[in-house]
Structure 1
Amino acid sequence: MSTSNNAPGSSSSNNNKNSLNTISLLSIYSKVTFDGTNFNDWMRNIRMTLRFDDKEYVLEKEMNEIDESKATPEEIVDYKTHCKDATKVSCIMVATMTPELQWFYEDYWTYEMCKDLIEKYHKRARQERYEIFKSLTTSKIKDRESITTHLQCMQCYVDCLLKLNMNFDEELAIDIVLHSLPSCYDHFIMTYHLNKEETTLSQLQILLRTAESGMKGKGIASTPTVAAPVMEIGQGKGKKRKAPSKQN
């Protein structure tokens, strides 16, 4: 009597827990919607959630059909489990895409979908990231261009790279800025590296504007006095670099 009365309650409790777990996982999946430009963020979110649910393997393991008349009981169980997991994961992946991508991938199995996405979007993003980083690191101030205008141009490259999941610490940002300066800033760069004081990226920009104001007639346009710092690359992260002393 006691056993029969407890069984239904126990089953109901387990079903409720499973439902809550499913809802919680779905809410995590839906935090990132794949739109064709954010593949790395989306796939990271998918992988981490699947890893928690022990289903990450379906992304990398191809599901081959078996002949049940010749397969062992264990092979049949494994195949059916794989099929069930792959179906769930493919539904989740497609459900977290934009409508246009949903229409294209709705009939894909998980493994084939993942392979196609990596080929189309991950490799494309890597090539795009390389081209933008190349433009950033070869950027130089043009004739009659102010330091503020130049830094704003560099910021556009940085924004694109951040969207492609390439992050910068502050030290690297400072090195990129210094590398972009023309030869008339050579003394400034030398003094900057020799000085023992530390500076942030924002402080460096102020120092550059001060140096710029003393370079009239050298092909460098002046920045308006009220201009605010424009570069934002890893603010507050990484090691600080040394600031130059004031130039006479």
Structure 2
Amino acid sequence: MSTPTDAFGFSSSSSSNNNLSLLNIHSKVQLDGTNYNDWMNNIKMPILFEENEYVLKRPLDETDEEKVNPEEMIAYNKHYNNASKVACIMMATMTPELQRHYKDYWLYEMNKDLMEKYHKRALQEKYEVVKSLIASKMKEGEFVSNHVQRMPRYMYRLVKLNMNFDQEL
């Protein structure tokens, strides 16, 4: 007995296995409020692979089934289903506390709220760390080793905040 194949010749069971293994990527980082950028980068990989990134940027508009044509209804159902899948991925990769907070949010609103709360905080923290790094001066009578040991801490924190550095730096 043969299994159905998709447009690329993969069996539907192997295609779903590929999706599951790709979706397992997201479990490496769990959002706890301090790691928004790492978490979002991990979440976006399977979302981009499935071509569902639009659901993060576009709200799902309510529609009246009796007043829309069939193509609009198909588009609405597709958006609804894709948004539900992405919301499940996002919720599954949050701490239980954040899951409780966002359980009644729809995807677009959840993403918008997360960006406002955590992305802006990360940008502010990057600014503060860079400001501290640049303003860091060796104090009178301080050992050079103490001053030099402080620099990697700043750099490590910037790396954790996804700050990109040129190779020459």
Calculate the TM-score normalised by the size of structure 2: 0.89
Q: Is 1:97 aligned with 2:108?
A: no
Which residue of 24, 44, 48 corresponds with 2:45?
Answer: 48
Question: Would you say 1:138 and 2:131 are equivalent positions?
Answer: no
- Counterparts of 1:159 and 1:45 in 2: how far apart (Å)? 20
For structure 2, the 5+ residue unaligned runs are: none
Structure 1 position 153, deviation (Å): 1.9
Equivalent pair of 1:90/1:108 in contact (CA under 8 Å): no
Q: Deviations over 1:112-163 (max 9, x none)?
A: 1111111000011101111111111011000110111011122222222221
Larger RCO (CA within 8 A; separation ≥ 6): 2
- How far does the alpha carbon of each residue in 1:209-244 deviate from its partner, in whole angstroms, 9 at most, with x for none? xxxxxxxxxxxxxxxxxxxxxxxxxxxx327xxxxx
Please identify runs of 4+ aligned residues in structure 1 that moved more than 6 A.
none
Match of 1:69 in 2: 66
**Residue aligning to 1:24:** 21
Whether the aligned pair in 1 keeps the contact of 2:55 and 2:108 (CA below 8 Å) is: yes
Counterpart mapping for 1:49-198 below 5 A: 49-169=46-166
Q: Which of these two proteins has the greater Rg computed from alpha carbons?
A: 1
Q: d(CA) in 1 for partners of 2:20 and 2:107?
A: 21
**Corresponding position of 1:10:** 3
Q: Give the Cα separation in 2 of the matches to 1:15 and 1:161.
A: 43
Residues 63-103 of structure 1 show CA distances to partners (whole Å, capped at 9, x for unaligned) of 01101111010011111111111111100001011221111
Q: Supply the AA of the counterpart residue of 1:84.
A: N
Equivalent position of 1:238 in the other structure: 168
TM-score (norm 1): 0.62
CA RMSD of aligned residues (A): 1.8
Equivalent residues of 2:23, 2:46 under 8 A apart: no
SS at match of 1:30: helix
- How far residue 15 of structure 1 moved from its aligned partner, in angstroms, is 4.0
**Corresponding letter in the other structure for 1:29:** H
- Counting matched residue pairs gives 165
CA–CA distance in 2 between the matches of 1:168 and 1:41?
16
Q: Structure 1: which 5+ runs fail to align?
A: 1-5, 170-236, 240-248
Fraction of identical pairs, as percent: 53
1:116 is aligned with what amino acid? Answer: D
Deviation at 1:10, TM superposition (A): 2.5
Q: Secondary structure of the equivalent of 2:97?
A: helix
Q: Residue type of the partner of 2:21?
A: S
**Mapped partners of 1:17, 1:85: distance in 2:** 20
